[in-house]
Amino acid sequence: MSVDHYRTTFRACPINASRHKPESIKATLQRLADATGDDEQIDNYGSGELIESFEREVAALLGKEAAIFMPSGTMAQPMALRIWADLARTDYVALHATNHVALHEHNSYQVLWQLKGCELGQSHRVPLLDDLKAAARDPLAAVLLELPMREIGGQLPEWDELVRQSEWAREQGIKLHMDGARLWQCPAAYDKSLAEIADLFDSVYVSFYKDLGGIAGAMLVGSADFIARAKVWQRRVGGTLYALYPYVIAARDGLARHRETLSKRRQQARWLAEQLNQLPGISTWPEVPHTNMFRLRIRCQPDAFLVKGERWMQQHNIALIPPPYRTDDDALHCEINVGDAFDLMDKDDWTKWIQQFGKDMEDTLAT
């Protein structure tokens, strides 16, 4: 039994603990067409009211002077670091061991952008102020902090700790950049506005398909001077596509539909983690989620679990455990990110099916 087969079945389930409600391509495009004004015109090489008004909206939401829409975060993030490195006249930037630009982008920030990384903190926990100070032994242009930190289960630093890090960085003349791919999850956790959180950073990247259900697309947000420099770099690297309007419309629609629901998703994630922690062999990381995402460790017979788990999903049309991102000899590691598909059942029904799942899978789970 392969993980790919399990993944295919998981994605086909109409009721899912870890995604938005499934929707056909046709239905998605029709909904986006209906969300477009009759007088709206396509953008052209990054200009036009459609894209510019959305950039102003997101900049205002995050309390920054300006913003620029980009095709991907893989383009946006190292660009921000390169800008800060040029201004500081040093190529050194500090990044946590689990940072996305190194872990999932084949070190493009070094290979393509000619930056040099200083590792920040330890891979199993959020970075602390002492970690920033230790990384600053080399002259640093910028520090990249991810909020929330996906690879450690959506954990966040304490608010007061984050404030101390921001104040220290500014005292040192070091720029603070946020990998805010999932920033939308943070206001509910911190009880702060997006602008209050972004105010601690000199530049911010946000994604529009994570949590918001957009097609693709990202945005860099910061000062007017920073964004002016980013526009030059965007042209240099081929990011100024002829038109980006499908991505902009989808991002705008997703922001309007999902942003205000993420507080509810966090509550659902904390409830779900509590239920899953009661099953034999299953534990969440963190035990109590900080946001609407968390990770699972399932002590089991991996092959047997995948075979029986796929049959269970096919029988009940309910997807509870996502496909693993890592498989050990005696465990599976999975990630849950609660979306609006969770609303397709109430908590009583979820409780019933979680308990049924634990009973049906008992012979594959370690006790």
Q: What is the pLDDT of residue 96?
A: 93
DSSP secondary structure code for residue 183 in this structure: G
The residue to which tokens 């084949």 are assigned: 106
pLDDT single digits (tens) 10-34: 999 989 999 898 889 999 999 999 9
In CATH terms, the fold of domain 43-242 is Aspartate Aminotransferase; domain 2 (3.40.640)
Which amino acid belongs to residue 306? L
The answer to whether 273 and 284 are in contact (CB under 8 A) is: yes
Q: What is the pLDDT of residue 367?
A: 63
The answer to whether 182 and 207 are in contact (CB under 8 A) is: yes
Helix (H) or strand (E) holding 118: strand 116-120
Question: Could you give the residue range(s) of every CATH 3.40.640.10 domain in the chain?
Answer: 43-242
The answer to whether 140 and 174 are in contact (CB under 8 A) is: yes
In CATH terms, the fold of domain 3-23+261-364 is Aspartate Aminotransferase, domain 1 (3.90.1150)
Question: Could you give the residue range(s) of every CATH 3.90.1150.10 domain in the chain?
Answer: 3-23+261-364
Return d(Cα 21, Cα 70) in angstroms, integer.
26
| Total count of residues recorded for the chain | 367
Q: What is the pLDDT of residue 279?
A: 95
Q: What is the pLDDT of residue 1?
A: 55
Return d(Cα 366, Cα 300) in angstroms, integer.
5
The answer to whether 71 and 247 are in contact (CB under 8 A) is: yes
Q: What is the pLDDT of residue 102?
A: 84
Return d(Cα 362, Cα 299) in angstroms, integer.
11
Beta-carbon contacts of 365 under 8 Å, excluding residues fewer than 6 positions away, are 279, 280, 281, 282, 298, 299, 300, 305, 358
Return d(Cα 323, Cα 335) in angstroms, integer.
8
pLDDT single digits (tens) 262-290: 999 999 999 999 999 999 999 999 999 99
User: C-alpha dihedral over 173, 179, 184, 185, to 10 degrees?
Assistant: -100
Q: Which residues of the chain have pLDDT under 50?
A: none
Return d(Cα 170, Cα 53) in angstroms, integer.
31
